[in-house]
Amino acid sequence: MGKSTHSKLPAVVLLVEDDQGDVVLVEEMLASSDDPGFDLLVAHRLDRAAAMLDTHDVDAILADLHLPDAESEAVVGSLRAHAPHTPIVLLSGYSGPEVDLQGAQDFVPKRDLTPQLLRRTLRYAIERGRLTRQLEQALMQNSDGLVIVDRAGVVRFANGSASRLLGKDRSELEGKAFAYPLETKDSALLEIDQPSGDPRYAEMRVADLEWDGRPASIVSLRDVTDRQRAEALKEQMWHAERLRAVGELAAGVAHEVNNPASYVLGNLETMLQLMRTDEELSRERYAATRGQMIDLLRESRSGIRRVIHIMRDLRNFARIDEDRLEVVDLNEVIESSCTMAKSEILHRAKLELDLDRTIPGVRGQSARLVQVFTNLILNAIQAMTSSGPHVLRVQTWGQGGEVFASVEDTGAGIPSHQIDRIFEPFFTTKERGSGTGLGLAIAAEAVRSHEGEIAVTSQPGKGTRFELRFPGCAPISTRPPTPSSPAPVSAAGRRRLLVVDDEIALLRVFARALKPHHEVVTATGGLDALAIMEGDQGFDAVLCDLMMPDCDGVAVQESLEAAGSPLASRMLFFSGGVFTDRVRGFIRERKHRFLEKPVEIEALLAAVDALVDETTR
């Protein structure tokens, strides 16, 4: 430890030098001034210097790198071990950029040594050391983990908070390489393994500074473990509440699916019966039967579309894998929520939808917003228990660039002494066992995460109104429309297509739909498709399912890219469901090349023409 440089006492300098001539030279230079500013201690060997550091207070060390019992880096390392906070100035017979400071503060070439240079260098080193110690003391008091890393990536200082967060003693950190990359201008989240096996999390920020007179980085590590665990718990609560709501809606959704499924099945059975009994039709009876069959087919198609719509709404509500932000049409969100709860609504109230079709979009997560409105609608339905008539009114409107929505019921209302608590987690106005108390808390958190607000007003015995406000973004009309009719057939006419799917029945459907317009080759899975394309590259487009057991669509694409095949740029994908993060990421990068099953024929033909036109420009 050194004395304060503000003291009147001379600074104590330990000279570590085996050459007696150099020792005499340094003694003369430090004594050549009228200012008795230095007391000199001398050690001719490194082991002697180490012993003296253990018994003397030293303000600075002046050391040669070449000693009888140590060389170069070992000299600085040993001196640092015995006096970690004492500044070290190196003496050497060499000069120039090739001299490595080895962790010392400064360097003085012997051939350039003058009394003024030596004294000034020592004074600067001692003052820098004093400032560094003051900074270390301040850093040690900080509750955040703070680490100083030099330009070589070596830790020069770590405070106690960093030691605890990283799970290592300071002695295990200082002098060692920092274990995490520093190439970041923004904050980064670190997952830090712990001996217990339960990781901790830190938010890391990096800034430049000077340490011991040399460029370095200060790394701030803020312990966000509790925040990360709270986020994980919140996600689990989201999922649990979503599954609970799905359970509540299951019977109603089954009813909504069973109705169209029943008449589709009935229509198909009627058509089969007509085909069996009227094998030889007169011209007159053929015309009548043909018209009846067309009606049956149209009704069946309408029923299947209704089932598709319900299933997509259910999937959008229940999905837990999509966290990306997109421009969301709040009207579509509300319509999906109403579809999900349709059976519950019909048995309790009259639904009044007043949706402003001119509102801008909302930037957010569609699935979370569907959950918010489904929860509000279910709560409203459950509040309307008394005899009716009851009305559930859902409204949207725009004002000043913002989007508003309201859900209003004519139910029992909320008592005034409870209304201030309804957004608290685990608080519920329902009977014991009939609610978790999480639904409204989760809904409120979701609204806030979309930079929105939610408010409630209620009159006991008359009803409750929830009003939501969100910042608007791009108008809905700016988003690309979904093709609803076939694009014009390109000038080249028929194309040659390869259709890939592991479902044989679907392959037949695609082939029947496409063959009137294009030449079609089919492959029963990814491996079959690759085998075909290995010997035949003459396809204008490849239509490929994504989820196949032997070799999925992603693997087909990657194989074509690896082989340098031009068909890699002519792929169109479709799927009835995505179950892996790998495929989800793949779709996000190729949204314009993806169709969702079931695919209507018109949309399929339009997509094929658009792909061919795009790849042949």
User: 373-389: per-residue pLDDT in tens?
Assistant: 988 998 898 888 877 78
Position 18 pLDDT exceeds 80: yes
Total residues found in the chain within this entry: 617
CA distances to 189, 219, 224, 372, 449 from 202, rounded to whole Å, are 6, 11, 5, 31, 22
Dihedral, CA of residue 226, residue 231, residue 235 and residue 241, to nearest 10: 80
Position 482 pLDDT exceeds 50: no
Say how far apart CA 493 and CA 341 lie, in whole Å: 47
Position 351 confidence tier, pLDDT thresholds 50, 70, 90 = very high
Q: Say what the pLDDT of residue 112 is.
A: 81
Q: Which residues, in sequence order, are CB contacts of 315 under 8 Å at separation 6+?
A: 577
Which superfamily is assigned to 231-478 in CATH? Histidine kinase-like ATPase, C-terminal domain (3.30.565.10)
Residue intervals in the chain for CATH 3.40.50.2300 = 11-137, 496-615
Mean local confidence (pLDDT), 274-297: 67
Q: Say what the pLDDT of residue 244 is.
A: 66
Do residues 338 and 296 make contact, with C-beta atoms less than 8 angstroms apart?
no
Say how far apart CA 168 and CA 54 lie, in whole Å: 26
Residue type for 30, please?
L
CA distances to 251, 365, 383, 407, 447 from 246, rounded to whole Å, are 9, 18, 19, 20, 20
Position 496 pLDDT exceeds 80: yes
Say how far apart CA 172 and CA 144 lie, in whole Å: 19
Hey, which of 114-128, 357-371, 428-442, 516-530 has the most confident mean pLDDT? 516-530
11-137 sits in which CATH class? alpha beta
Position 615 confidence tier, pLDDT thresholds 50, 70, 90 = confident
Residue intervals in the chain for CATH 3.30.450.20 = 142-223
Mean local confidence (pLDDT), 394-413: 94
Greater pLDDT, 289 or 490? 289
Q: Which residues, in sequence order, are CB contacts of 273 under 8 Å at separation 6+?
A: none
Q: Say what the pLDDT of residue 143 is.
A: 84
Q: Are strands 70-71 and 66-67 parallel, antiparallel or unpaired?
A: antiparallel
Position 529 confidence tier, pLDDT thresholds 50, 70, 90 = very high
Position 311 pLDDT exceeds 80: no
Greater pLDDT, 363 or 239? 363
Mean local confidence (pLDDT), 124-149: 82
Tokens of 581: 């993060």
Query: What is the H or E stretch that residue 367 is in?
Result: helix 366-383
Position 469 pLDDT exceeds 50: yes
Tokens of 266: 């009935």
- Outline where 109-224 has alpha helix (H): 115-140, 160-166, 170-173
Q: Say what the pLDDT of residue 98 is.
A: 47
Strand partners, 571: 542
Position 324 pLDDT exceeds 90: no
Alpha-carbon dihedral sign for residues 362, 368, 374, 380: negative
Which fold is adopted by the domain 142-223?
A: Beta-Lactamase (3.30.450)
Q: Say what the pLDDT of residue 560 is.
A: 95
Q: Say what the pLDDT of residue 8 is.
A: 59
Q: Which residues, in sequence order, are CB contacts of 512 under 8 Å at separation 6+?
A: none
| Phi–psi pair at 193, nearest 5 degrees | -65, 140
Position 475 pLDDT exceeds 70: no
Do residues 340 and 374 make contact, with C-beta atoms less than 8 angstroms apart?
yes
Q: Which of 396, 368, 521, 553 is nearest to 469 (CA)?
A: 396
Position 255 confidence tier, pLDDT thresholds 50, 70, 90 = low
Position 284 pLDDT exceeds 90: no
Position 407 pLDDT exceeds 90: yes
Tokens of 81: 């071990």
Percentage of the chain lying above the pLDDT 90 cut: 24
Q: Which residue has the tokens 């094929």?
A: 608
Mean local confidence (pLDDT), 312-336: 74
Residue intervals in the chain for CATH 3.30.565.10 = 231-478
Best CATH choice for the domain 496-615 from the list 3.40.50.2300, 3.40.30.10, 3.10.28.10, 3.40.1440.10: 3.40.50.2300
Q: Say what the pLDDT of residue 451 is.
A: 92
